[in-house]
Amino acid sequence: MLWVKTLHLLFIISWFAGLFYLPRIYVNLAQADNDEVYACLLGMAERLYRFMTPLAILGVAFGLWLYLGYGLGRAQGWMHAKLALVFVLAGYHLHCKRVLDRFRSRNNRRSHTYYRWYNELPVILLIFILILVVVRPF
């Protein structure tokens, strides 16, 4: 099971790297005033989303394997809270796709400031998930 835990952590860390960087690209896309720069940034965002989606799937799959294999925390409140935050994180990931589609169709109506704040949600989720897993407050 240590290999499963290692792979879970590897894929989750990699997924978070993508979740931290993709909205930063959105900040730049919202500020782009040149079609060439816009096209380059849009390509970067599309490739990053395609790369991070399998990482998310594998991270969640290995986490599910740990949950079912160990039964770790099944009856404990911290695990329920963590799973709820993982669902929020998955929703954020899917919302990133909707935002990307808006940029692709040149239908973005949000400012770069909005995306700077939007970029903070995965950071906040990571902090709470780490506290729940390490401290297990309830």
* Stronger pLDDT, 127 or 75, i.e. the higher one: 127
Helix (H, G, I), strand (E, B) or coil at 32: coil
Mean pLDDT of the chain: 95
Kindly give, in sequence order, each residue whose CB lies less than 8 Å from that of residue 52, ignoring residues fewer than 6 positions away. 14, 15, 17, 18, 19, 22, 93
Helix (H, G, I), strand (E, B) or coil at 30: helix
- Residues 25-65 have pLDDT tens digits of 999 999 999 999 999 999 999 999 999 999 999 999 999 99
Spatial separation of the C-alpha atoms in residues 53 and 48, rounded to whole Å? 9
Residue 97 marked in a binding site: no
Query: Is the Cβ–Cβ distance between 131 and 21 less than 8 Å?
Result: no
> pLDDT band for position 105 (50/70/90)?
very high
Does the pLDDT at position 96 exceed 70? Answer: yes
Spatial separation of the C-alpha atoms in residues 89 and 95, rounded to whole Å? 10
Q: How many domains does the chain have?
A: 1
Does the pLDDT at position 71 exceed 80? Answer: no
* Percentage of residues of the chain with pLDDT beyond 90: 89
- Predicted confidence at residue 75, as pLDDT, reads 75
Residue 82 marked in a binding site: yes
Model-wide pTM > 0.85:
yes
Domain that holds residue 50: 2-135
Average pLDDT value for residue range 11-27: 98
